[in-house]
Structure 1
Amino acid sequence: MPSSDEQPKLPKFFDGTPPQEHSSRWTKCWEDKWTPWDRGGPSMALYDLLKENPSGAIPLPSEGSPKTCLVPGCGRGYDVLLLSSFGYDVYGLDVSSQALDAAKANAEKALAEELYKTEASKRGAVNWTCQDFFAEDWKDVQGPFDLIFDYTFFCALPPPLRPAWASRMKSLLSPGGRLICLEFPSEKGSSEPGPPWAAPPIEYLEYLSNPGAQPQTDKYGGVIAEQTQSLAPGGLKRLVHAKPERTHESGMKDGRVQDYISVWSHANE
């Protein structure tokens, strides 16, 4: 890989790589300590959602009701630590062992400096696990999960992997559980290369409403809005969809929030 002042942008680095081999490219980024997607801190959109909990849509942990959480593609684990501060027992999952080494170092520093205020009666347990999200034979991980948080994971996957992403999310979400997505980049066009690939709200809605199904797409892999399907009986339904008041700088443009945040449950609940 080139030196830091010659680093290619992510789309160029991934160009021509088959979707099934993308995990090796992400691992290479971590090995070379090149993480241009890193936000440097937790999602304030997620924090605000959990604090406000509109209509009680999100089951929060309590003294007599512990809850588990999964953050796939956790990177340095900022959101893992945030969710732990709300009392969830959290699994931070990444395909790169180097990412998890960085997460452990970040966690040690953050907790020593008390960067995360405890928002529940007690802080939840933090677990780091090096796994392939799509593998069915995870080791040392107990699922399904009461909460799953997806941010810069969906958009990191090339469109051909999105049906499998939705199917896996459904299988990992426990009965009564919630999937939270911070939708990014919501205003990018499907013709623009990734990662991150375009992730407007229609993409999440179509794939999660029909997990495992391949929707009608344009030649770039973007969902065609005029040809969407209705919610399938075995799909995930959207309970909350809103623009957060705060988000990462990458989700802003000219002082305007571009990201959306959404909450999903099983369709039969």
Structure 2
Amino acid sequence: MATSDAQDRDRLRQTFSAVPLASHGARWAALYRDAFTPWDRAGPSLALADLLAQRTDLVPPAQDRDAGGNPVGGAPRRTALVPGCGRGHDVLLLSSFGYDVWGLDYSADALRMADENRREADVQGLYEPAGEHLEKGDVEWLAGDFFDEGWSAGIGTDGLGKFDLIFDYTFLCALPPEARPRWAKRVASLVHPKGRLVCLEFPSGKPLSEPGPPWGLSPEVYEALLTAPGEDIAYDADGNVMGTASPQPRDDALHRLSIIKPTRTHPAGTAEDGTVLDFISVWMR
């Protein structure tokens, strides 16, 4: 198994080595066509499920509720986006918590797999509503390039192209470091003024100087990117962020509400002794 994992990592690195960012989407699509998807977790993110269930102080429920816990009549469901959704496990999870969810991926084959995954889950009775009196939200699959603006026109909260919750996992880490400022600028523009960005930070245990994908990340990288969306950040020889976040307030900046070491995450985010390596962070304007 270890040898297979190493071979998978080598293939990923070789696939994207010295390839310009504009060609990355086609490379990911080709891997899906070849059914080579070692990043697929075969299920939803337990850390996200726990956050949604246990920390409504950080992430408001998908629909406003009265004192008895019942959805307020006529209150719209909140919206969610999962960029780089792959087979859609986290899209289906968010739907089970009542969000109307858009799953975005460059690969048409990934979206086909995601819809097959949804139909199979329905047959097996998976992703049932996560609470009493809760209805599952609608799910839509979108084919597009995250960095383009066309796919978001007319959708999301009030059709404004913004979302109440955006979940990032195995998406930022798939981008080379030079593309990270573009990710920060685009994702910040997609967060609704009262919305949340939730990042399951992976791979936190990988040295930042080692090549990817996946590229190593740290809480300091997220902070530098999201407090100054679009600005380049400097790294030292080990890949660590140099300098601190700018003290100047910015209208487009996101601010970290909390960073948590989850009690559960995917096996890929744990050490050999079972220690959780991932972090989960919550951001808002």
What is the distance in 1 between the residues matched to 2:26 and 2:236? 27
Match of 2:219 among 201, 220, 240: 201
1:181 counterpart = 2:199: yes
What is the distance in 1 between the residues matched to 2:193 and 2:120? 35
Matched AA of 1:258: L
**CA-to-aligned-CA distance 1:159-187 (integer Å, 9 cap, x gap):** 11111101111110111000000000112
Match of 1:123 among 136, 140, 161: 136
Matched AA of 2:149: E
Secondary structure of the 1:42 match is coil
**CA-to-aligned-CA distance 1:191-219 (integer Å, 9 cap, x gap):** 21100001111111110011011112235
What is the distance in 2 between the residues matched to 1:181 and 1:231? 24
Deviation larger for 89-98 or 61-70: 61-70
1:71 counterpart = 2:88: no
Partner of 1:133: 146
TM-score w.r.t. structure 1 length?
0.92
**CA-to-aligned-CA distance 1:122-172 (integer Å, 9 cap, x gap):** 000000000100001226751210100000001011111111101111110
How many percent identity over aligned positions?
49
What is the distance in 1 between the residues matched to 2:248 and 2:84? 27
What is the distance in 1 between the residues matched to 2:14 and 2:62? 42
Matched AA of 1:246: R
Deviation at 1:76, TM superposition (A): 0.2
**CA-to-aligned-CA distance 1:208-235 (integer Å, 9 cap, x gap):** 0110111122357x34244543464221
**CA-to-aligned-CA distance 1:79-133 (integer Å, 9 cap, x gap):** 0000000000000000000000000000100111012131141000000000100
Deviation at 1:240, TM superposition (A): 1.2
The question of whether the paired residues in 2 share the 8 Å contact of 1:163 and 1:212 is answered with yes
Secondary structure of the 2:234 match is coil
Partner of 2:28: 26
Matched AA of 2:142: T
Structure 1 unaligned segments of length 5 or more: list them.
none
The question of whether the paired residues in 2 share the 8 Å contact of 1:247 and 1:259 is answered with yes
Structure 2 unaligned segments of length 5 or more: list them.
64-70, 156-160
What is the distance in 2 between the residues matched to 1:207 and 1:14? 23
Match of 1:144 among 159, 162, 165: 162
Deviation at 1:28, TM superposition (A): 0.8
1:112 counterpart = 2:129: no
Deviation at 1:16, TM superposition (A): 1.7
Secondary structure of the 1:24 match is helix
Cα distance change of structure 1 residues 205 and 139 upon mapping to structure 2, 3 Å threshold: closer
What is the distance in 1 between the residues matched to 2:152 and 2:260? 36
What is the distance in 2 between the residues matched to 1:20 and 1:199? 22
The alignment of Structure 1 onto Structure 2 pairs a total of residues equal to 261
Matched AA of 1:238: R
Partner of 2:277: 258
TM-score w.r.t. structure 2 length?
0.87
Match of 2:103 among 69, 92, 110: 92
Deviation at 1:22, TM superposition (A): 1.1
Partner of 2:61: 60
Match of 1:172 among 190, 209, 212: 190
Cα distance change of structure 1 residues 231 and 65 upon mapping to structure 2, 3 Å threshold: farther
The question of whether the paired residues in 1 share the 8 Å contact of 2:233 and 2:242 is answered with no
